[in-house]
Amino acid sequence: MQSFRKLAFVINAEKSGAPELAQELAAIARKAGVKKFKQCSDHELPRGFFKGCDACCVIGGDGTLLGVVREAARENIPVIGVNQGSLGFLTTFSADEARAQFASLLCGEYQIAHRTLLECKTGPGERDVALNDVLIKNDTNSRLVRLEVFADGKLVTEYYCDGVIFSTPTGSTAYNLAAGGPIIHPSAGVIAMTPICPHTLSNRTIIFRDNVKLTVINRSHDSHLYIAMDGQRNTAAKDDSPIEISVSPRTLALAQRRDYSPFEVMRAKLKWSGGFLEKK
């Protein structure tokens, strides 16, 4: 694989040990031949921050990595996630693994996983992308909302619920899983739609193919819709315009070790037992 010579660091300085780890990894990178560095610890990256970089190293938790998705996808550069948080589904390198493997990774010892992004249109000229999920709900937390969902122009169903989650396979282990949705292999080409607390018990997750065009219409005339992208960027639907969701033509490139297994991560993070005790 291509070696990295121009590297950006995005650091969550609120995570204990993250700034110090960044200094260690930067020293390793210099010895490995990296010639150009950028560094940012802001919660919101400036537009074009990754321009001219070969890769981005994110040091923090999954939330920190989600914060770089738009800019990394726009510049089509790989993201190296180093976990200084708790769960670490996306930031797959531990601090110790990063220290031990960073030099070889920068020299080409890695694989790239191209993760699906969702594109959401919330009004004229208003578009954003999400790596995990798009959440649509009432702008008042205590109120239910009535939503109609269409797939390729045909009615799927009408929900009376707290909201609806549209999830990528990557995001299936996030809010989707907590709301009762299925775990989906990261490379599966699908979108999952999971209602939150629907008032019809038969309403369950629906899986759509990756080229579907989904449309959500607010049928609660006395309320307005709130859209959250990856749980970070929040907006309101423009004049209650239909909300359109589809798979983005862009993807996010995640740099992983060559023996990376998503099931290994799931066993560790979801605390699967993995076997039975032998009888004595």
Average pLDDT over residues 135-155: 92
Average pLDDT over residues 54-82: 96
Indicate which CATH number applies to the domain containing 244: 2.60.200.30
What 3 state SS string does the chain have? CCCCCEEEEEECCCCCCHHHHHHHHHHHHHHCCCCEEEEECCCCCCCCCCCCCCEEEEEECHHHHHCCHHHHHHHCCCEEEEECCCCCCCCCECHHHHHHHHHHHHCCCCEEEEEEEEEEEEECCEEEEECCEEEEEECCCCCCEEEEEEECCEEEEEEEECEEEEECCHHHHCHHHHCCCCCCCCCCCEEEEEEECCCCCCCCCEEEECCCCEEEEECCCCCCEEEEECCCEEEECHHHCCEEEEEEEEEEEEEECCCCCHHHHHHHHCCCCCCCCCCC
Indicate which CATH number applies to the domain containing 13: 3.40.50.10330
- Domain-located, residue 264: yes
- Domain-located, residue 279: no
Higher pLDDT, 198 or 280: 198
Look at residue 274 in the predicted model and tell me its pLDDT: 61
pTM, two decimals, is: 0.92
Q: Are residues 265 and 241 in the same domain?
A: no
- Domain-located, residue 280: no
Q: Are residues 59 and 125 in the same domain?
A: no
- Domain-located, residue 45: yes
Domain that holds residue 205: 117-249
Q: 233: burial class by Cβ within 10 Å (0-12, 13-18, 19+)?
A: middle
- Domain-located, residue 145: yes
In this predicted structure, the answer to whether residue 201 has a pLDDT above a threshold of 90 is no
In this predicted structure, the answer to whether residue 277 has a pLDDT above a threshold of 70 is no
Higher pLDDT, 113 or 264: 113
Q: Are residues 32 and 145 in the same domain?
A: no
Instruction: Give tens-digit pLDDT for 181-190.
Output: 999 999 999 9
Look at residue 278 in the predicted model and tell me its pLDDT: 54
In this predicted structure, the answer to whether residue 134 has a pLDDT above a threshold of 80 is yes
Residues of the chain above pLDDT 90, percent: 76
Q: Are residues 131 and 103 in the same domain?
A: no
Average pLDDT over residues 140-152: 90
In this predicted structure, the answer to whether residue 108 has a pLDDT above a threshold of 90 is yes
Q: Are residues 174 and 68 in the same domain?
A: no
Look at residue 165 in the predicted model and tell me its pLDDT: 98
Higher pLDDT, 43 or 50: 50
Predicted confidence band of residue 142 (pLDDT cuts 50, 70, 90): confident
Q: Are residues 14 and 79 in the same domain?
A: yes
Q: Which residues are catalytic?
A: 62
Question: Total structural domains in the chain?
Answer: 2
- Domain-located, residue 155: yes
